[in-house]
Amino acid sequence: MLNISNNSVKDRLDTKKFSSFARVESKRAGRVLIKVLWFLFFVFLLLMFLPWTQNIRSRGVVTTLKPDQRPQTVQSVIGGRIEQWYVKEGDFVEKGDTILYISEIKDDYFDPQLVSRTSQELSSKQQSAVSYKEKASSLDEQIAALKQTRDLKLQQTENKLLQAQLKVQSDSAKYAADSINYQIADRQYKRLEKLYQDGLKSLTDLEKRNLTLQKAESDMISSKNSLLASRNEYLNVKMELLSIDAQYKDDIAKAQSEKFSALSAMFDTEATVTKLRNKLSNYEIRNSFYYIKAPQSGYITKAIQIGLGETIKEGSQIVSIMPQNYQLAVEMYVKPLDLPLLERGQKVRIQFDGWPAIVFSGWPNTSYGTYGGKIFAIDNFISENGMFRILVIPDPDDVPWPEALRPGGGTYSMILLKDVFVWYEIWRQINGFPADYYKTENGNMNSQEKK
């Protein structure tokens, strides 16, 4: 009874007739409760000293280890109109298989004979370049012939100049001799004239001497005239020598000018040939872009462009392909506070979406349905979401990941850290302290794992 009133009914009732009163009044229930509480206390105390694996939990997605193994979209290099599809969603294609065919939509490339006509234009320009080259070669031969002729002409004229110079010297010597003869004849005539005046010589002798004097004077004048003519001839030959050199220089300069003009035209034509070759190559390569082919072997997952006659732009996404062969990995993000606790090769437990699992975060060994992994790479730069990206690969020493796993699935991962007691972990969580930092013994992967 509770005995909360002064009017007790304990003496008025026979409690032995009621079993419930007997059970309530019994002292055994209190002792059992005390035993249960002590038992729970010892169990709780025992649990406080059980090992607890510290971990960092994070959501992630299944991806591939290499970028070329991830799902990709096939794009069109040129703009065009869809004419024919060769695949459908779900088909498997080998590398180089044709996915679809597009036609041209730009008026610059409408001509069906564009490649052949450009090739003909290129051939014509090449022949034009050859012609200019041959013309330059012919002008080289002409210049060489002019130089050779000039040298011969100069040698011939130099010989004439030497002859004129020798003739001048000969005439000069003859004039000097004739001048001396005239002087001698003049002195003899003067002496004979004096003798004639003295009556010692006859008039006949005087006239003969006068005749000799006149002849000597005539020879002197003739020699002087010849000397002047020789000197004039020498000057003429010298002027002829300069004229020949100037004439041939002018002819050679004109030939060289024509040669340089031909070379300039040849170079311009060769530049045009190079541009036409580039244009022809672009046209030929553009023709190959009409057939859009698979960049690698894989499955067509989605057709982004649909229908026939639809116009697509340059760089438009057409279909998406999932590569046939890929190596799975898990992409997860951790807070900057937890980044110093991580290193390559660290163990990770992963729960994949769609695979049933029973997870005990502190006792990973007792969890069921999780798969092992280890950290392969840690980003050195923070991501746009304010966390650091981690790549996790399968642990070769653990159970293989499910074969039906595909990129894009969700994951719930636990990066395993140090083993501590439960009471320590509770105390750490209450105080908001970070997990303990430690280094794994096998933190550095061997070269085969890195590869």
| pLDDT score for 446 | 42
Q: 385 CB contacts (<8 Å, ≥6 apart)?
A: 333
The answer on pLDDT for 451 being more than 50 is no
- DSSP string over 81-113: EEEEE---TT-EE-TT-EEEEEE---GGG--TT
Which numeric CATH code is attached to 72-104+290-322? 2.40.50.100
Which contacts (CB < 8 Å, 24+ apart) does range 50-53 have? Answer: 50/421, 50/422, 51/419, 51/420, 51/421, 51/422, 52/362, 52/363, 52/419, 52/420, 52/421, 52/422, 52/424, 52/425, 53/362, 53/363, 53/364, 53/416, 53/417, 53/418, 53/419
**What is the mean predicted confidence (pLDDT) over 422-433?**
76
Q: Which residues pair with 419 in a beta bridge?
A: 53
Q: 184 CB contacts (<8 Å, ≥6 apart)?
A: 216
* Lowest pLDDT segment from 6-15, 260-269, 383-392: 6-15
| pLDDT score for 49 | 79
Higher per-residue confidence, 27 vs 427: 427
Strands across the sheet with 291-293, in order?
A: 291-293, 98-103, 80-85, 311-312
**What is the mean predicted confidence (pLDDT) over 173-190?**
87
* Lowest pLDDT segment from 76-85, 214-223, 326-335, 438-447: 438-447
Higher per-residue confidence, 107 vs 53: 107
Higher per-residue confidence, 425 vs 184: 184
| pLDDT score for 27 | 57
The answer on pLDDT for 445 being more than 50 is no
CA distance 168 to 357: 129
Burial class of residue 132 (count of CB atoms within 10 Å of its CB; 0-12, 13-18, 19+): buried
**What is the mean predicted confidence (pLDDT) over 109-116?**
85
How would you classify residue 309: left for phi > 0, otherwise alpha for psi between -120 and 50, otherwise beta?
left
pLDDT tens for each residue of 339-374: 888 888 888 888 898 887 776 666 566 666 788 899
The answer on pLDDT for 78 being more than 80 is yes
Residue 443: pLDDT band by 50, 70, 90 thresholds?
A: very low
CB 395 within 8 A of CB 372: yes
| pLDDT score for 331 | 93
Angle in degrees, CA 62, 67, 69, rounded to 5: 70
Angle in degrees, CA 115, 120, 124, rounded to 5: 145
The answer on pLDDT for 24 being more than 80 is no
CA distance 257 to 253: 6
**pTM for this prediction:** 0.56
Higher per-residue confidence, 2 vs 221: 221
CA distance 375 to 343: 7
**What is the mean predicted confidence (pLDDT) over 305-320?**
88
Q: Which residues pair with 321 in a beta bridge?
A: 72, 300
| pLDDT score for 29 | 57
CB atoms within 10 A of CB 68: 10
Residue 450: pLDDT band by 50, 70, 90 thresholds?
A: very low
**What is the mean predicted confidence (pLDDT) over 418-443?**
68
Return the sign of the alpha-carbon dihedral for residues 60, 64, 67, 68: negative
Helices (H), 198-311: 203-288
**What is the mean predicted confidence (pLDDT) over 240-252?**
89
| 114-288 has the same fold as 50-69+326-450 | no
**What is the mean predicted confidence (pLDDT) over 253-281?**
91
| pLDDT score for 264 | 92
Q: Which residues pair with 390 in a beta bridge?
A: 332, 378
Which numeric CATH code is attached to 114-288? 1.10.287
Residue 8: pLDDT band by 50, 70, 90 thresholds?
A: low
Angle in degrees, CA 111, 112, 114, rounded to 5: 65
Residue 305: pLDDT band by 50, 70, 90 thresholds?
A: confident
The answer on pLDDT for 323 being more than 60 is yes
Higher per-residue confidence, 24 vs 166: 166
Query: Which CATH architecture does the domain made up of 50-69+326-450 adopt?
Result: Beta Barrel (2.40)
| pLDDT score for 61 | 92
| pLDDT score for 447 | 38
| pLDDT score for 22 | 64
Average pLDDT, the chain: 83
As separate numbers, helices (DSSP H) first and strands (DSSP E) second, the chain gives 6, 14
The answer on pLDDT for 388 being more than 90 is yes
| pLDDT score for 417 | 73
**What is the mean predicted confidence (pLDDT) over 43-57?**
78
Rg, Å, the chain Cα set: 60
Distance, C-alpha 311 to centroid of its chain = 31
CA distance 342 to 334: 10
Residue 444: pLDDT band by 50, 70, 90 thresholds?
A: very low
Residue whose pair of structure tokens reads 């732009």 in the numeric block = 313
CB 51 within 8 A of CB 419: yes
Strands 317-323 and 328-334: unpaired
* Lowest pLDDT segment from 46-50, 269-273, 377-381, 406-410: 46-50
**What is the mean predicted confidence (pLDDT) over 331-336?**
90
How would you classify residue 408: left for phi > 0, otherwise alpha for psi between -120 and 50, otherwise beta?
left
Task: Write down the domain spans for the chain.
Answer: 10-48, 50-69+326-450, 72-104+290-322, 114-288
